[in-house]
Structure 1
Amino acid sequence: MNEQDDQRNQPLLAALDIDGTLARPATLQIARPVRDAIARFLAVGHHVVLASGRSLVGVLPIARELGLDGWAVASNGAVTVRLDPRMRRGYELDDVQNFDPGPIVRSARAVLPGLQIAAERVGWGYDVTHLFPTGQLNGAQQIVSARDLAGRETTRLVLRGPGAGRLLEVVRAAGLSAVLAEEDWLDVTGPGLSKATALEKVRANLGVEPSRTVAIGDGRNDLEMFGWAAHAVAMGHAPEAVRAAADAVTGTLDEHGAVVALDALHVGAEPIFS
């Protein structure tokens, strides 16, 4: 067996975004073809790692529905867990990256006094300055004062409201990581974090070759993940900038684009890994 054939026999690591890639954010229902494609991919010895901007309590139900036993990345790389259905909680925390939200909370409120702010509490939900609409945050919400919220370390901070995009450079200038998910929604995590930083640690732990990594996603917070993967696949409905950053574009969510991409790998149609 030559080196090329040996490489083809090594497992792949597929990093999968959730919202807009595997499921519609409003319903979080995963279509049967998507579940079946993931099962086929796992059955031949490959790895699936969920990589989401969602908090841990938002990722875990998806992992359970898919029957995953391995790793998952939440909060845009700030939280990494080992999944094991045999455990009482079904997981154990592997890496949690906290930061001090105080300076950003104070700066943000000075610029936009009416801003809604949420700080993640891993495995539970969020402390919030105002209640967020149902479905916008995962888990429970507890209203606290901005001072109390600013005084507790967190893994992920959400800044929501008209003009939130104006704070992007303020956050980055403070040395923190930020993703403008929407014009009125800014996600903030600790310095140098992204889905890619967490996935690289997972890849090393799994012993997967860097050349055997693939990422499938549809959002701005997938761009670093695309740069990390040997092959990046954008969903057909993704913004133009996301599609332009990918090596390939698959179908939309309605067209089960993730199924097409995973099955192409599953059946061995892997010219990108040759």
Structure 2
Amino acid sequence: MLKALVTDVDGTITDRRRRINTAAVETIRSLVDVGIEVVLASGNTVCFMDGLCKMVGTDGTIIGENGGVYRRTFSGTLRIPGDKNACLAAFEILKDYFTEKGVELELYSAQYRFADVAFARNIAPDEARTVIRDHDLPVRVLDTGFAIHLQAPGINKGTALRDLAGEMGLSPSEMMAIGDSENDIEMLEAAGIGVAVANAPAATRAAADRVTKESYGDGFVEAVKEYFDGFEGR
């Protein structure tokens, strides 16, 4: 029996322009009202996630920075398994490399991040991966479709889901995860049921147990109605 839902944000409960789907918000609130715990999981910062949780109506349980941080409720202790220093060092090497090619990398919200590094998606992620590999740096490159992130290896939304499940007194098998991007793959694989919305790339769809017919927030609502017994939403 499913007891919790873990959902990505951008591209999963929003549209391609990052506008939140109001039906998805109503669906999340309806789940919360019947006792289903909802975890928002994103590459975004903790402060962004806190505001979103307040507005949407969850209890503040989050996975942020692509698994680099997680927390059980607003009053819980923020866990930081990621390694920001390694990510910053890797960013400086990437910055120097691309500056020589005439491309400036724009760092996002560095002062608000505890574990990873995010920057504007104005370079090819595969080229960044090649630079990282050539320098034998202990980080990996993630492309969320909205930004490029540097994260410590072995840290992802899936590892955070497993650790958070323990703090929630649940098994990962009692959780459903929904996502749309490559940074959601491990999360979909870790959950009891992993669902990719229709706009997800091929690799993410392949990792999922189910791919919705609808895209973005409409796909999210479709998945919840299918898997949570007796739930019809408002």
- Give the SS at the match of 1:178: strand
CA distance in structure 1 between the partners assigned to 2:41 and 2:98 by the alignment: 31
Q: Deviations over 1:141-190 (max 9, x none)?
A: xxxxxxxxxxxxx52212443344311144364121321234x9521022
Partner residue in 1 for 2:66? 76
Partner residue in 2 for 1:94? 78
- Give the SS at the match of 1:50: strand
**Is 1:40 the equivalent of 2:30?**
yes
- Contact 1:115 1:159 survives alignment (8 Å): no
Partner residue in 2 for 1:107? 93
Cα 1:12–1:169 shift into 2, 3 Å: farther
Which of 53, 62, 86 is matched with 2:43 structurally?
A: 53
Cα 1:24–1:58 shift into 2, 3 Å: farther
Cα 1:92–1:216 shift into 2, 3 Å: same
Q: Which has the higher contact order (CA 8 A, sep 6+)?
A: 2
Partner residue in 1 for 2:21? 30
Q: Deviations over 1:8-48 (max 9, x none)?
A: 3xx522110011111225353331x2222222322332211
Partner residue in 2 for 1:134? none
Which of 116, 140, 144 is matched with 1:156 structurally?
A: 116
Q: Once superposed, what is the RMSD of the aligned Cα atoms? A: 2.6
**TM-score where L is the length of structure 1:** 0.71
**Is 1:181 the equivalent of 2:181?**
no
What one-letter code is carried by the residue in structure 1 that aligns with 2:91? V
- Give the SS at the match of 1:237: coil
What one-letter code is carried by the residue in structure 2 that aligns with 1:155? A
Over alpha carbons, which structure has the higher Rg? Answer: 1
Cα 1:29–1:198 shift into 2, 3 Å: same
- Give the SS at the match of 1:29: coil
**TM-score where L is the length of structure 2:** 0.82
Q: Which has the higher helix share?
A: 2
Cα 1:23–1:254 shift into 2, 3 Å: closer
- Contact 1:251 1:258 survives alignment (8 Å): no
Partner residue in 2 for 1:147? none
Could you tell me which runs of 5 or more consecutive residues in structure 1 were left unpaired when the two chains were aligned. Answer: 1-7, 85-90, 126-153, 270-274
For these two proteins, the number of residue pairs brought into alignment is 223
Identical-residue share of aligned pairs (%): 25
Partner residue in 1 for 2:127? 166
- Contact 2:8 2:180 survives alignment (8 Å): yes
